[in-house]
Amino acid sequence: MASRVFVTREIPGTGLQMIGQHFDVSVWPHERPPTSEEIVSAAQGCEGLVTLLSDNIDSGVIDALPRLRAISQYAVGYDNIDVEYATKRGIIVTNTPGVLTETTADLAWALLLAASRRVVEADRYVRAGEWRVAWGPTLLLGRDVYGATLGIVGMGRIGFAVGRRATGFNMRVLYTSRSDTKITRRAENELGAKRVDLDTLLRESDFVSLHVPLTPRTRHLIGKRELGLMKPTAVLVNTSRGAVVDERELARALSERRIRAAGLDVFEREPIPLDSPLLGLDNVVIVPHIGSASVETRSKMAQICAENLIAALSGQRPKYAVNPEVFER
Ligand code: DGY
């Protein structure tokens, strides 16, 4: 009998079809994410789960699914899954790195440019019928991106792709990284990037772009003290995870113009609550967690997600296991 698999939301491309060719699949039929209780109830008897970053897969959910052998996350980030607990239970967890690197870097740049040149604010201005004078010498002035300093917090794949785009803007690139890797060496050799500590990066950068995973160490990495180190003309861009920034402190810094602007794709709570102070600010560009949202990338993610699951449930090592130690046992 084929293994049973529960998919917590419809995913695009051929991924679902691929999974369906190997397993007995059921898919959560709604647009809203299932609650933990709904996942447990819908996934009873399942050996595989396909999850999204909005699904909370904690030890309670894992314990309530005794047949579970593999969790295939449809994302590169997996902070919504208790990987340590899954590992203890011998459950393989996989993700979809690599394919979304360039797409996410594009969005970081879209936010950087939009926030710096006030593109969204200008669009709102025109639509509101406020454009009454043909050309104004001081109308909607932004700041130059070309030739400025870009600070990349976390020089992994996406950080590097963001830095590579900066060479076309003749920018000086600073970065932080906890370790020496092939990517950090490439950043230094190919982009002329300079490694500094976080405080130096915050003090010297005109644009700060965040590219670290959310872990206990990076939660609120950018808080009141860090925002206080940034230039009053600086722009913060976040396409990583919302909780890397203390959002309340960010809203204060923006409303008091202690930093100039922000471009945000991710939030501490998603969807962002409608009473969030960020929504009332003109100097923030806000998009709804669409870093990887291109037709091409989302369908590649679905394919990798399916390949990971098929391999894991067939007893093979998936290409992108986040806890490969499960196989070492
Ligand atoms: C991821 O894959 O972690 C991204 O946040 C999705 O856009």
Which of 9, 11, 50, 53 is the best mutation target for the ligand 1 pocket, counting ligand atoms within 8 Å of the beta carbon and taking the most?
A: 53
Which of 104, 111, 237, 295 is the best mutation target for the ligand 1 pocket, counting ligand atoms within 8 Å of the beta carbon and taking the most?
A: 104
Name 93's Cβ contacts closer than 8 Å, sequence gap at least 6. Answer: 70, 71, 73, 78, 81, 83, 86, 87, 321, 322, 323
328 is catalytic: no
Residues of the chain short of pLDDT 50, as ranges, are: none
| 319 CB-side CA count, 13 A | 12
Q: What is the pLDDT of residue 159?
A: 98
Helix, strand, or coil here: 123?
helix
Interval between CA 51 and ligand 1 midpoint (Å): 12
Interval between CA 107 and ligand 1 midpoint (Å): 12
Q: What is the pLDDT of residue 313?
A: 97
Q: What is the pLDDT of residue 327?
A: 86
Q: Angle at Cα 251 formed by Cα 245 and Cα 256, nearest 5°?
A: 130
The residue nearest atom 3 of ligand 1, judged by CA position, is 77
The ligand 1 atom nearest the CA atom of 100? 2
- Residue 48 backbone class (left: φ over 0; alpha: ψ -120 to 50; beta: rest): beta
Interval between CA 302 and ligand 1 midpoint (Å): 12
The ligand 1 atom nearest the CA atom of 301? 2
Residues with CB under 6 A from ligand 1: 53, 75-77, 100, 291-292
DSSP 201-267: HHHH-SEEEE-----TTTTTSB-HHHHHHS-TT-EEEE-S-GGGB-HHHHHHHHHTTSS-EEEES--
Q: Which domains does the chain have, with CATH numbers?
A: 4-99+295-328 (3.40.50.720), 101-286 (3.40.50.720)
DSSP 40-86: HHHTTT-SEEEE-TTS-B-HHHHHT-TT--EEEESSS--TTB-HHHH
pTM of the model: 0.96
Q: What is the pLDDT of residue 191?
A: 98
Question: Strands 207-210 and 194-195: what pairing?
Answer: unpaired
Considering the candidates 9, 69, 157, 241, report the single residue annotated as catalytic: 241
Which of 9, 76, 218, 237 is the best mutation target for the ligand 1 pocket, counting ligand atoms within 8 Å of the beta carbon and taking the most?
A: 76
Q: What is the pLDDT of residue 328?
A: 82
CA distance 306 to 49: 11
CA distance 226 to 286: 21
289 is catalytic: yes
Phi, psi of 149, rounded to the nearest 5 degrees:
-105, 130
Of 216, 205, 80, nearest to 153 by C-alpha is: 205
Interval between CA 66 and ligand 1 midpoint (Å): 28
211 is catalytic: no
The ligand 1 atom nearest the CA atom of 293? 7
Question: Which residue carries 């709102």 as its tokens?
Answer: 124
Instruction: Give the DSSP letter of residue 172.
Output: E
- Alpha-carbon Rg of the chain, whole angstroms? 21
Please check whether residue 219 is in contact with residue 244, taking contact to mean a CB–CB distance below 8 angstroms. Answer: yes
Interval between CA 239 and ligand 1 midpoint (Å): 9
Phi, psi of 85, rounded to the nearest 5 degrees:
-70, -40
